[in-house]
A and B are shown apart, each in its own frame.
Chain A
Amino acid sequence: MQYLWRTPGSRIAPEEASPIGPPPLEIRGLTVAYHRRPVLWNIDYAAPPGGLIAVVGPNGAGKSTLIKACLGLVPRVSGTVEVFGRPIAKQRRLIGYVPQRESVDWDFPVSALDVVAMGRYGKIGWFRPVTRAHKEAALHALERVGMADFARRQIGQLSGGQQQRVFLARALAQEAQLYFMDEPFAGVDAATERAVLQVLRDLDAAGRTVICVHHDLQTVSDYFDHALLLNTRVVAQGPVSRVMTPDLLSRTYGGRPMPAPAAAEAS
Chain B
Amino acid sequence: MIDPMFEEALRVLTFQSGFNSAVVVAGTAALGLAGGTVGTFLLLRRRALVSDALSHATLPGIAVAFLVGAALGLPERSLPLLLAGAVVSGVVGLLTVQALSRFTRLTEDSAIGAVLSVFFGLGVVLLSVIQNLELGGQAGLKTFILGQTAAMAQGEAIAIGLLAAGAALAVALLFKELRVLAFDPGFAAVQGWPVGALDLVLMGLATLVTVIGLQTVGLILVVALLIIPPAAARFWTDRLPALTVAAAVIGALSGWLGATLSALLPKLPAGAVIVLVAGGFFLLSFLFAPARGLLAAALRQGRLRLTFAERRALTDLLDGQPVEGSVALWLRLRGFTRGNSVLTPAGQTAARAAARDRRLWERFLADYPALLPAHANWGVDPIDSVLPGDMVRLLEERSASS
Residues of A within 8 A of B (CB): 68, 71-73, 89, 92-93, 95, 97, 99, 103-105, 108-111, 114-115, 118, 121-122, 124, 126-130, 149, 154, 156-157, 159, 161-162, 170, 174, 180, 189-191
Contact = CB atoms under 8 A, between A and B. Distances in A.
Contacts of A103: 184, 186
Contacts of A154: 238
Nearest to B173: A127
B370 interface: yes
A104 B191 CA distance: 16
A109 B376 contact: no
B365 to A, nearest CB: 16
A110 B183 contact: yes
A97 B186 CA distance: 9
A122 B179 CA distance: 13
Contacts of A128: 176
Nearest to A93: B192
Contact of A109 (B180, B193, B240, B370): B240
B183 A191 contact: no
13 contacts: A73-B189, A97-B187, A103-B184, A103-B186, A109-B239, A111-B239, A126-B177, A127-B177, A128-B176, A130-B176, A154-B238, A170-B187, A189-B373
A73 B186 contact: yes
A12 B208 CA distance: 56
A104 B184 CA distance: 6
Interface in B55-89: none
B182 interface: yes
A73 B190 contact: yes
B265 interface: no
A223 B18 CA distance: 75
A245 B174 CA distance: 51
A34 B17 CA distance: 63
B184 A110 contact: no
Contacts of B191: 92, 97, 121-122, 174
Nearest to A122: B191
Contacts of A95: 190
Contacts of A93: 192
A111 B193 CA distance: 21
B374 interface: yes
Interface of B: 44, 173-177, 179-180, 182-184, 186-193, 234, 237-240, 243, 370, 373-374, 376
Nearest to A73: B186
Given A71-B189, A114-B179, A121-B191, 5 more contacts: A99-B184, A103-B184, A127-B177, A129-B176, A149-B374
A127 B373 CA distance: 37
A109 B243 contact: yes
Contacts of B189: 71-73
A121 B176 contact: yes
A169 to B, nearest CB: 13
B190 A118 contact: no
Contacts of A97: 186-187, 190-191
A130 B176 CA distance: 8
B379 to A, nearest CB: 16
B215 to A, nearest CB: 32
B176 A189 contact: no
A189 B234 CA distance: 31
Contacts of B182: 108
B187 A99 contact: yes
Contact of A99 (B174, B177, B186, B370): B186
Given A73-B189, A95-B190, A122-B192, A109 B184 contact: no
Contact of A161 (B188, B243, B373): B373
A189 B370 contact: yes
Given A71-B190, A103-B184, A104-B183, A109 B237 contact: yes
Nearest to B239: A109
Nearest to B193: A121
Contacts of A149: 374
A170 B254 CA distance: 38
Contacts of A126: 177
A115 B183 contact: yes
Contacts of A157: 376
A230 to B, nearest CB: 20
A109 B234 CA distance: 8
Contacts of A191: 370
B184 A118 contact: yes
B321 to A, nearest CB: 36
A162 B237 contact: no
Contacts of B192: 89, 92-93, 122
Nearest to A156: B238
Nearest to A118: B180
A81 to B, nearest CB: 13
Which 9 A-B pairs have CB atoms at the shortest separation, nearest pair first? A92-B192, A154-B238, A122-B191, A97-B190, A159-B373, A109-B240, A71-B190, A118-B180, A104-B184
Contacts of B243: 109
B309 to A, nearest CB: 26
B238 A109 contact: yes
Q: Of B179, B188, B370, which is in contact with the most chain A CB atoms at under 10 Å from its CB?
A: B179
Contacts of A118: 179-180, 183-184, 187
A130 B193 CA distance: 16
A73 B376 CA distance: 37
Contacts of A115: 183
A105 B187 CA distance: 13
A95 to B, nearest CB: 6
Nearest to B192: A92
Contacts of B186: 68, 71, 73, 97, 99, 103
Contacts of B237: 109
A114 B177 contact: no
Q: Of A109, A110, A126, A191, which is in contact with the most chain B CB atoms at under 10 Å from its CB?
A: A109
Contacts of B238: 109, 111, 154, 156
Contacts of B374: 149
Nearest to A89: B192
Contacts of B183: 104-105, 108, 110, 115, 118
